[in-house]
Structure 1
Amino acid sequence: MSKKILIIAGDFVEDYELMVPFQCLKMLGHEVDVICPDKKAGEQIKTAIHDFEGDQTYTEKPGHNFTLNASFDEIDETKYDALLIPGGRAPEYIRLNGRVIEMVKHFDNEKKPIASVCHGAQVLVAAGIVKDKTCSAYPACAPDINTNGGTWVDIGFEDAYVDGHLVTAAAWPAHPAWLAKFNELL
């Protein structure tokens, strides 16, 4: 059965963590809307490609321009079945938007599926929904999760973790497991 999924992103979202879920979920027949604070349908956001090349952390390269297909100010989150939050640098500033936090809390309060990958956990933390939850994220986000009442779990970069209606992963190499588990929750 087709579901309606909301993705909240922003400039310099991780390219694969937006593009791949967007395309895969649409391929599965779901309706997927991508929004960004202060932007409208038809406007673009820039993405960044994060790669793992043996350094102490990921490297960053320019990605693509992604054209938004929904307007942030017109979204009624109650009309959606699930939420997806990609990583990259966008979560560090979209979490400062009160409306983003309201949306995330709605999905959590209604126990609707929420998928978060990589630094997307920063938005979950800001919304106060990691308390008493076990979740994965990019390892640099572990202190944020742990000091806010959650438990970060190290499952590597190719697996995903489900705790109730929340499915999380550390980075884009986990897409096969993360998206499969998210689709099961749908």
Structure 2
Amino acid sequence: MADKVLIITGDGGETLEVLYPYERMREAGYEPVVAALHTDRKIQLVVHDFSDDFDTYTEKLGHTWPADIAIKDVNVGDYAGLIIPGGRAPEYLRLDKDVLRVVREFNEAGKPIAATCHGPMILAQAGILEGRSCAGFGMISPDVTGAGATYEDGDSVVSDNLVTARAWNDNGPWMGAFLKLLG
């Protein structure tokens, strides 16, 4: 059986930051497992893009996707690594005690963790960024530095067992670095 990689997301997760890693893990021979707060309905993903007449990004409905497991039921020992996509989902997922437990357990075990866009907000809330370097969507740099990390504007910032990136347009380098961490 292939090693499993956990992807934590939820409603408002960025479509390209969920589905690209999902398919990339399959391509590399891993079994991706999507975890959300619930499994009784599909997750509503979104698409973020940029428009010349907006000061920030725009948001449109993306694909819906089923969760394979509820976050509260995750046993970290079952997984080789963790992926935390961005979008708006991390804004509320970072408040869930089970999400924070899972992230801390992955980190304590030294397992690879990949986060992008707004995903590092969860890493900050979990208290695992102190003394590390971390990328993310530029607007979350205060969250990163407030958690004791150095914010880096990069497409695949590796710091110990973490690899972080700015957004979906960094998916290739970000997932390439994560796969190297997975071995």
Q: What TM-score do you get using the length of structure 1 for normalisation?
A: 0.93
- 1:133 matches 2:132: yes
CA shift at 1:2, angstroms?
4.4
Equivalent residue, structure 1, for 2:160? 164
**How far does the alpha carbon of each residue in 1:84-103 deviate from its partner, in whole angstroms, 9 at most, with x for none?**
00000000001110011000
Cα distance in 2 for residues equivalent to 1:93 and 1:164: 26
Q: Indicate how the Cα distance of structure 1 residues 2 and 180 shifts in structure 2: closer, same or farther if over 3 A, else same.
A: farther
Cα distance in 2 for residues equivalent to 1:57 and 1:3: 38
SS of 1:48 mapped into structure 2: strand
> Aligned residues: percent identity?
38
Which residue identity is paired with 1:106?
Answer: E
Q: What TM-score do you get using the length of structure 2 for normalisation?
A: 0.94
The size of the alignment, in residue pairs, is: 181
Equivalent residue, structure 1, for 2:106? 107
Task: Give ranges in structure 2 of 5+ residues lacking alignment.
Answer: none
CA shift at 1:75, angstroms?
1.8
CA shift at 1:73, angstroms?
3.5
Cα distance in 2 for residues equivalent to 1:109 and 1:78: 12
Instruction: Write the mapping of 1:24-173 to structure 2, written as runs, cut at 5 A.
Output: 24-37=24-37, 39-40=38-39, 43-54=41-52, 55-155=54-154, 159-173=155-169
- 1:20 matches 2:16: no
**After TM superposition, where is structure 1 displaced by more than 4 Å over at least 4 residues in a row?**
none
Cα distance in 1 for residues equivalent to 2:50 and 2:160: 30
Cα distance in 1 for residues equivalent to 2:86 and 2:143: 15
**How far does the alpha carbon of each residue in 1:107-157 deviate from its partner, in whole angstroms, 9 at most, with x for none?**
1111110000000011000000111010100001101111121110112xx
